[in-house]
Amino acid sequence: MIDLLRRYPLPVIVLAQLFGTSLWFSINGVWLSLAGELGLTESDLGRLTLAVQAGFIAGTLTIAVTGLADRFGASRIFALSSLLGALVNGGFIFAAGAPPLDFLLRFATGLCLAGIYPLGMKMVIAWTPKYAGAALAWLVGMLTLGTALPHLMRGATLGMPWEWPLMAASCLAVAGGLLVFLLGDGPHLPRSSGRLPLSQGLAALRIPRFRAVAGGYFGHMWELYAFWTLTPLFIGRELQRMGQSDALIPWLSFAVIGIGAAGCVGGGRLSRTRGSEWVARRALMVSGAFCLVYPWLNGLSPALLIVLLIVWGIAVVADSPQFSALASATAPRESVGSSLAVMNAVGFGLTLPAIWLTSGLWGQLNVWVVLLLFPGPVLGLWALSRARPEIQAG
Q: Give residue-wise pLDDT tens across range 315-332.
A: 999 999 889 888 878 877
pLDDT at 317: 95
Alpha-helical runs (H) found in the chain? 2-7, 9-20, 26-29, 31-38, 42-66, 68-71, 74-95, 101-113, 117-127, 132-156, 163-183, 198-202, 208-242, 249-258, 260-274, 276-293, 302-318, 320-330, 336-365, 375-385
**CATH, domain range 1-184:** 1.20.1250.20
pLDDT at 187: 67
What pLDDT is stored for residue 390 in this prediction?
46
pLDDT at 288: 96
Tell me the CATH number for domain 204-387.
1.20.1250.20
pLDDT along the chain (394 residues), means of 10: 74 89 85 80 81 90 72 85 96 89 95 88 73 73 85 78 89 94 72 52 76 93 94 93 89 94 91 89 96 94 96 95 84 70 84 90 91 96 74 45
User: According to the model, what pLDDT value does residue 69 have?
Assistant: 63
Q: Is the peptide bond before 321 cis (omega within 30 degrees of 0)?
A: no
Domain with CATH 1.20.1250.20 in the chain: 1-184, 204-387
- The burial of 167, by beta-carbon neighbours within 10 Å (0-12 exposed, 13-18 middle, 19 or more buried), is given as middle
Pair 268, 280: CB distance under 8 Å: no
pLDDT in tens, 72-108: 778 889 999 999 999 999 999 998 888 899 999 999 9
